[in-house]
Amino acid sequence: MPLGNLASVSRFLPELAVTATILLLVAVHVVGKNRQSSASALLSLAGVGAALLLTALQPSMPAVSLFEGMVALDGFAVFFKALTALATIVVIFMSMDSAELSGKSQAEYYVFLLSVLLGMFLLSSATDLVMLYLSLELVSIPSYLLAGYLKGRKSSNEASMKYVVYGATASGVMIYGFSLLYGLTGTTQIAEIGRALATGKAALPLFLAAVMVAVGFGYKIAAVPFHMWSPDVYEGAPTPVTAFLSVGPKAAGFAVLVRFFYTVFASPDGAGGPWTLSSPVDWTLLFAVLSAATMTVGNLVAVNQKNVKRLLAYSSIAHAGYMLMGFVLLTPAGIQAILFYLVVYLFMNLGAFYVVILVANGTRSEDISDYAGLGSRAPFAAVSLAIFLFALTGIPPFSGFIGKVYLFAEVINRGVYWLAVVAALNSVVSLYYYARIVKVMFLEEPAEKAELAVPAFPRALLCLLAVPTLLLGVYWEPVIRVAANSVRLLAF
Amino acid sequence: MGMDKLLVIGAALFCCGLYTILTRRNAVAVLMGVELILNAANVNFVAFSHYVSRVIGGQIFAVFVIVLAAAEAAVALAIFLRLYATTGTVEVDTADELKG
Amino acid sequence: MNGPADLIFYILAALTVGSAILVAILPNIVYSAIALLFAFAGVAGLYVFLSADFLAATQVLVYVGGILILILFAVFLSHRISDVKLSNPARFHWQAAFICLSLFGVLSYTVVSTSFPVKPGTVYQPSTAEIGELLMTRYLLPFEVASVLLLAALIGAALLSRPEGRKGTSSDMEEPK
């Protein structure tokens, strides 16, 4: 039984903390005179920190439905809230260090960043189509603005324009799919839609609706063939924003993908799965093909990239493909593998982008050729980047390996051998382009020998990102347990 | 009247919108196509709300779609004008600073 | 309902779909925008037939009065006023037409052949009060979240449209190599 509006407020504290911070930022800094000061960064840090703390303290058992059935408070939602809040905190630190953003008006930047965070909170817990659409737009619209934040720079403007054109189209197609689902069932609650669809057998409209909704969500996680925006946006946007987009909204996209498809087009055998297909449309096969296409395209195109940000963009497309493997299996272990992979991916991907920022601060360049000799110019940054890249490749003893082991094990366990073979071949391809950067850094002679200074604070943050990347490769037990406990979707 | 006819109108609006998005190079024209698609969804929602649903959830949905369309259009057009100010074009594929 | 009501319905339907097709195919972007106006107005008329009075008014106010004006502003601001021809170049005609026509066929076949769970007897009554009540009760959370979204969009549009400040522009213009 969903709680009413007033009764829900006390279980909505993380979202309220973020909203209050947004309003404070607007009242104090956007309207005020000191828009360039770093005070707004500190205020947002405090706000997101408070939200993270409140999320950790949130009782997720038993799962409840809040605000008349608009959002769910369950282990799954709490996991994604904590994950996205953590990513946001790291990105705020990265933004404070970025030369691209210094001198710009700061207050608006953090308003957009926190709006996206609020959107991701709601997206990972939405259980009503209205709420789902609204939170998806709350993630998207400020993201367009963040991508175009360097408003005097051509590439940033172009990134923003491409993002908005593709994003608006994808969400339009998705909303048409929602309208078909609404017509078939007469309700906007996803749990009720799932129950109503389980009895009816209208294959054609369901297929169309599933494909159209997949367009909207696939665009958010940048799955092939809805990935065209992402390399351009990732290259043109300010680097901290790129790092944020490649982790935060992608994670929230996976959250909504799992919750929506597992509730509407499948029915659980218990609170934490396994699930059985309840619709006549075999969407798992569709997504298995998308998964294989996504990782293959991402990895093959990444091989020829010359710009580091663009290379990492294609690599993050490939990682979305790996994670999609866990989505098509309909088992708790598959979801658990996705959740674990997302934690690992957060550290390694944000870490890699952080090194890109630090190098760009010194060299003003994002070309791979300018990374030559980084091993002697800035040994600390070079070694960290090597750690993150090897973790992204997924070779032992780095954490990316463990993430892949869990995904592969479940894929093989469920007998989807062809997908496992494709993924294994892809990992081999990815080794080539990640290792190429490492080779350039350590084996090639730099054009300029001057040392690149990395200040103490970024060093500390790099350590904080590198330690989990290494540690989770040898001792991952606590995280996998949290992930296992978080595979609890609200069923009502 | 009947629901079928309204749904066919919705489908026609959707396809016109899609054609506009696929063929136009001017970003503002692409946005017009998006608005057509949103209207197609809204026609569906309101029709289903009238003929199928017990409560008027579809009309509420349409209200939110209109609100978000307005927000999205404001942001999108501001972005396009900013792009025009720096590059002198609002065409989707003439802007080619980024590719590969 | 029959007679004049049916006639008006078909006129509105023809207006909506006809204008939408014109939006898609007219070569001049200003004409496209004007056709879009008629498409929006036609949809507002259809809402009246579905007893969605509030939505019909909102459609006219927000779409015709707001979004369309914005689009026209953008069209004129993004072309030099001295340009004789405001072109609206297009590409991939045949492929796109093929895709869209076949999709239209599939979609219309789907919606006509599917048996939606139609409720017995439709009632015509004003819905404004009900919408207001639902927004304050069941849909309170989306209503509040929409306000945060609108705030962010407002700040964003203002930020992008604000002219560059005197300082800070030089580093802004710098492109990465």
Whether the per-residue pLDDT at C177 is higher than 70: the answer is no
For range A400-427, the mean pLDDT: 93
Classify residue A59: in a domain, yes or no: no
Chain C partners of A68 at a C-beta cutoff of 8 Å?
137-141
Q: Which domain holds residue C82?
A: 1-88
* Partner-chain residue, chosen from B34, B83, B95, that has the shortest CB–CB distance to A168: B34
CA angle A376, A379, A385 (to 5 degrees): 120
- Structure tokens, C173: 């213009």
The A residues from 282 to 301 touching C (CB cutoff 8 Å) are none
Classify residue C106: in a domain, yes or no: no
Lowest mean pLDDT among A21-35, A98-112, A268-282, C60-74: A268-282
* Cα-Cα end-to-end distance for chain B: 51
Q: What is the pLDDT of residue A469?
A: 92
Peptide bond preceding A446 in cis form (omega within 30 of 0): no
Interface with chain B: mutation pick from A151, A160, A161, A173, highest number of B CBs within 10 Å: A161
Q: Which domain holds residue A356?
A: 286-492
Classify residue C157: in a domain, yes or no: yes
Confidence band for A491, pLDDT divided at 50, 70 and 90? low
Note whether B30 contacts C: Cβ–Cβ < 8 A.
no
Q: Which chain B residue lies closest to A228 (C-alpha atoms)?
A: B99
CA angle A406, A410, A412 (to 5 degrees): 120
Chain A partners of B44 at a C-beta cutoff of 8 Å?
176, 179-180, 182-183
Q: What is the pLDDT of residue C167?
A: 43
Note whether A172 contacts B: Cβ–Cβ < 8 A.
yes
Confidence band for A396, pLDDT divided at 50, 70 and 90? confident
Buried b / exposed e across C60-79, counting CB within 10 Å, b at 16+?
Answer: bebbbebbbebbbebbeebb
Lowest mean pLDDT among A150-154, A266-270, C128-132: A266-270
**pLDDT tens digits, A293-351:** 999 999 999 998 999 999 999 999 999 999 999 999 888 899 999 999 999 999 999 99
Classify residue C120: in a domain, yes or no: no
Determine whether the interchain pair B1/C54 forms a contact, defined as Cβ–Cβ distance below 8 Å: no
Q: What is the pLDDT of residue A59?
A: 73
Determine whether the interchain pair B79/A158 forms a contact, defined as Cβ–Cβ distance below 8 Å: no
Classify residue A486: in a domain, yes or no: yes
Verify that C78 and C152 share a domain, yes or no: no
* Partner-chain residue, chosen from C52, C100, C107, that has the shortest CB–CB distance to B19: C100
CA distance C33 to chain B (A): 8
Q: Kindly give the pairing relationship between strand A71-73 and strand A64-66.
A: antiparallel
List residues bridging with A268 in a β-sheet.
A275
Please name the helix (run of DSSP H) or strand (run of DSSP E) that holds residue A68, with its range, or none: none
> Helix or strand or coil: residue A199?
helix
Q: What is the pLDDT of chain A when averaged over all its residues?
A: 90
Chain A partners of C160 at a C-beta cutoff of 8 Å?
145, 148, 151
For range C154-161, the mean pLDDT: 91
- What is the torsional sign of CA A355, A218, A281, A274? positive
Q: What is the pLDDT of residue B99?
A: 60
Classify residue A484: in a domain, yes or no: yes
Q: What are residue A276's phi and psi, to 5 degrees?
A: -120, 145
Q: What is the pLDDT of chain C when averaged over all its residues?
A: 84
Percentage of residues in chain C having pLDDT higher than 90: 50
- Structure tokens, C10: 């078909």
Determine whether the interchain pair A155/B75 forms a contact, defined as Cβ–Cβ distance below 8 Å: no
φ/ψ bin of B2: left (φ > 0), alpha (ψ from -120 to 50), beta (otherwise): left
Determine whether the interchain pair C131/B70 forms a contact, defined as Cβ–Cβ distance below 8 Å: no
CA distance C77 to chain B (A): 7
**pLDDT tens digits, A137-146:** 999 999 999 9
Classify residue C96: in a domain, yes or no: no
**pLDDT tens digits, A159-192:** 999 999 999 999 999 999 999 999 998 899 998 8
Confidence band for A374, pLDDT divided at 50, 70 and 90? confident
Chain B partners of C66 at a C-beta cutoff of 8 Å?
70
Domains of chain C: total: 2
Domains of chain A: total: 1
Lowest mean pLDDT among A94-103, A232-241, A273-282, A294-303: A273-282
**pLDDT tens digits, C76-99:** 887 754 454 555 666 678 888 999
Classify residue A37: in a domain, yes or no: no
Is residue A139 within 8 Å of A113, Cβ to Cβ? no
Q: What is the pLDDT of residue A455?
A: 86
Q: What is the pLDDT of residue C54?
A: 93
Please name the helix (run of DSSP H) or strand (run of DSSP E) that holds residue A227, with its range, or none: none
CA distance C85 to chain A (A): 24
Lowest mean pLDDT among A43-47, A64-68, A90-94: A64-68
> Helix or strand or coil: residue A488?
coil
CA distance B38 to chain A (A): 6
For range A36-60, the mean pLDDT: 88
Q: What is the Cα–Cα distance from A72 to A128, expressed in whole angstroms?
A: 9
Higher per-residue pLDDT: B35 or A58: B35
Lowest mean pLDDT among A200-209, A418-427, C17-26, C157-166: C157-166
Q: What is the Cα–Cα distance from A246 to A354, expressed in whole angstroms?
A: 13
**pLDDT tens digits, A215-257:** 999 999 999 888 889 999 999 999 999 999 999 999 999 999 9
Determine whether the interchain pair C74/B80 forms a contact, defined as Cβ–Cβ distance below 8 Å: yes
Confidence band for C175, pLDDT divided at 50, 70 and 90? low
φ/ψ bin of A8: left (φ > 0), alpha (ψ from -120 to 50), beta (otherwise): alpha
For range C34-42, the mean pLDDT: 94
Q: What is the pLDDT of residue A198?
A: 81
Q: Which chain B residue lies closest to C72 (C-alpha atoms)?
A: B28
Whether the per-residue pLDDT at A34 is higher than 70: the answer is no
> Helix or strand or coil: residue A65?
strand
Determine whether the interchain pair A112/C149 forms a contact, defined as Cβ–Cβ distance below 8 Å: no
Chain B partners of C67 at a C-beta cutoff of 8 Å?
35, 69-70, 73
Q: What is the Cα–Cα distance from A417 to A450, expressed in whole angstroms?
A: 51
Q: What is the pLDDT of residue C123?
A: 77
* Partner-chain residue, chosen from C51, C139, C156, that has the shortest CB–CB distance to B75: C156
Q: What is the Cα–Cα distance from C133 to A484, expressed in whole angstroms?
A: 41
Classify residue C141: in a domain, yes or no: yes
Q: What is the pLDDT of residue B100?
A: 54
Strands (E), A181-312: 266-268, 275-277
Whether the per-residue pLDDT at A47 is higher than 90: the answer is yes
Confidence band for A273, pLDDT divided at 50, 70 and 90? low
Tell me the ipTM for this assembly. 0.94
Q: What is the Cα–Cα distance from A287 to A284, expressed in whole angstroms?
A: 5
Task: Look up the CATH number of domain B3-87.
Answer: 1.10.287.3510
Determine whether the interchain pair B87/A162 forms a contact, defined as Cβ–Cβ distance below 8 Å: no
**pLDDT tens digits, B25-51:** 888 999 999 999 999 999 999 999 998
Whether the per-residue pLDDT at B24 is higher than 90: the answer is no
Peptide bond preceding A2 in cis form (omega within 30 of 0): no
Whether the per-residue pLDDT at B4 is higher than 50: the answer is yes
Classify residue A322: in a domain, yes or no: yes
Note whether A204 contacts B: Cβ–Cβ < 8 A.
no
Chain C partners of A185 at a C-beta cutoff of 8 Å?
117
| CATH code assigned at C11 | 1.20.120.1200
Domain residue ranges in chain B: 3-87
**pLDDT tens digits, C59-71:** 999 998 889 999 9
Which range in A23-32, A197-206, B68-77, C87-96 is most confidently predicted, on average pLDDT?
B68-77
